[in-house]
Structure 1
Amino acid sequence: MHGRHENPESVDLHRVAVDTHGHTHFGMALANLVGFDLAPRLAGMNKRKLYLPRGLNIPATLRPIVSETVSLSAITQGWDPLLRIAASTKSGWCSATYVLDRFGSAARGDEAFQAGDAFGKLLLTRFLGAYLGDPAFRGMNDALLSQGESVHTLQRAIYSGPIGARHGRTPEQMAAISSGLTLLTNVIMTWNATRIGEVRARMPDIFPDHHIKHIAPNAHEHINTKGVITIDVSLHRDRLLGAGPPAAGIRNVI
């Protein structure tokens, strides 16, 4: 991710880098409409096409890699509902995850999906032009994605063993395990980001913005990932267990 800090509690998001599995044409359109760019690093670049509407004067050298499949009428017909979906997402009335699930490939007959898919193809063509034609942009995009991918390295450092069927047999158990791993990962990254911010506040001239943006808060060599976290829950016993007597085996500390 790339953002511009306006104050200690807010970030103006400009760009999110994803791999091939995180990219869809509709997702690219939704990201653009809510105010940032989706920057994918795509597999099989030698087979990628530039999506354009029909009727343009395309140079002969580009015709082999051009696909004239963008429907301008689809964008026109579905533009208003697509804007309403983007506005609901940006204002928080619905999550981006829900919208992307709702408007997946199964929604091909929906006007909003058709508009988002066509608009996303145009955005992908614009992105590929910058990615292939500008080495500086390509390097920045790949660096952002590499920072995001390194989060998986942190997660493997926290828990590197297999998850057996006894501990993760049901979808609910798998969801709990995944949520726990995500929580611990976010705890470490928040701690790192806080320390980076403290150092940056003390020495802003030594660590300017163009240096800080290359530092991801997912380093873990200094973290004891095999340690024990002790949490005092005695103050919250009544809320956790109700007003009745403590259940057998429940301790003040977990």
Structure 2
Amino acid sequence: MRAYDYVDSHGQTEIGFGVTRLSGFDLLPRIKQINKVKLYRIESGESDLYPRLTPAMTRPIRWDLIEQNYDQMIKYATAIKQGTASTEAILRRFTESAAHPTYQAMLEVGRAQKTIFVARYLRLRELQREIQEGLNVVESSNGANSVIFYGKGGDIATNRREELEMSVLCLRILQAALVYINTLMLQDVLADPEWTELLKPADQRGLTPLFWQHVQPCGEVRLDVAKRLSLGGAAQAPEAGDPD
């Protein structure tokens, strides 16, 4: 079973499709302006093979470029999977020289994979639903992170590895605590026979512990409007003869 990654429309880059395909998992983006997506031909001389797709068809895939740089592409993909090099570092090296033959070959792999994906996306309604549902989970998780990891606007303003790791580990603890508490709350609700009868199987499938509307990031603030606040430091006792 292949792994997959759900991304929004901005994630449907050709290099993204290429890197993920070489890394052994599928990129599943949500495509908003699918009418502007171009499909690449398998080979030349097929201009009349798909007459209804002619407006969306463009040039053939350069399979020769993929074949010539196949070993190098596998080398970089293996480095990414084993963690000896990051995807960002490799792509940064390539973007400094967009004419790099290995980078161009990865683009061709991405164009082929993107064409395959778009054909599946248009044909399979269940794939569209799966991607939408997957993105809903991702967006819900990101929304929760913005609430529980709100210091400095949620930005990690450091490049030091130790501080980055500490921030991410603290965030994971908060995530685990939130999911744990929410799961216990859901269990209590589902243990109630009244709710068990009310919630149908479809409703129960839609339950998720990734909700945060009950979270108070700054704690609970209670105001007593009947009590006067001391704004000038410690309150002084009134002198004799002074009105209260």
- Per-residue CA deviations over 1:139-164 (Å, capped at 9, x if unaligned) read 0011112211223321332366985x
Give the C-alpha shift of residue 96 in structure 1. Answer: 2.5
SS of 2:50's partner is: coil
* Aligned residue number for residue 217 of structure 2: 225
Q: TM-score, normalised by structure 2?
A: 0.66
1:47 to 16, 36, 49: 36
* Aligned residue number for residue 146 of structure 1: 136
Give the C-alpha shift of residue 110 in structure 1. Answer: 1.3
Give the C-alpha shift of residue 65 in structure 1. Answer: 0.8
Confirm or deny: 8 A CA contact 2:158 2:164 kept in the other structure: no
Query: Is the aligned partner of 1:136 residue 2:105?
Result: no
Deviation larger for 82-91 or 58-67? 58-67
Counting aligned pairs with the same residue, the percent is 23
* Aligned residue number for residue 29 of structure 1: 18
Confirm or deny: 8 A CA contact 1:50 1:65 kept in the other structure: yes
Confirm or deny: 8 A CA contact 2:44 2:60 kept in the other structure: no
Confirm or deny: 8 A CA contact 1:78 1:114 kept in the other structure: no
Give the C-alpha shift of residue 197 in structure 1. Answer: 8.9
Q: Distance in 1 between matches of 2:103 and 2:44?
A: 23
Amino acid corresponding to residue 80 of structure 1 in structure 2: D
Q: Distance in 1 between matches of 2:212 and 2:162?
A: 23
Query: Is the aligned partner of 1:78 residue 2:64?
Result: no
Q: TM-score, normalised by structure 1?
A: 0.64
Query: Is the aligned partner of 1:187 residue 2:173?
Result: yes
Q: Distance in 2 between matches of 1:129 and 1:90?
A: 28
* Structure ranking higher in strand proportion: 1
SS of 1:61's partner is: helix
Amino acid corresponding to residue 102 of structure 1 in structure 2: R
SS of 1:67's partner is: strand
SS of 2:59's partner is: strand
Structure number, greater radius of gyration: 2
SS of 1:225's partner is: coil
**Structure 1 gap segments, 5+ residues each:** 1-11, 201-209, 229-254
**Structure 2 gap segments, 5+ residues each:** 188-201, 221-244
Quickly say closer, same or farther: Cα 1:159–1:94, change in 2 above 3 A. closer
Q: Distance in 2 between matches of 1:157 and 1:171?
A: 17
Aligned length: 203
1:97 to 63, 75, 88: 88
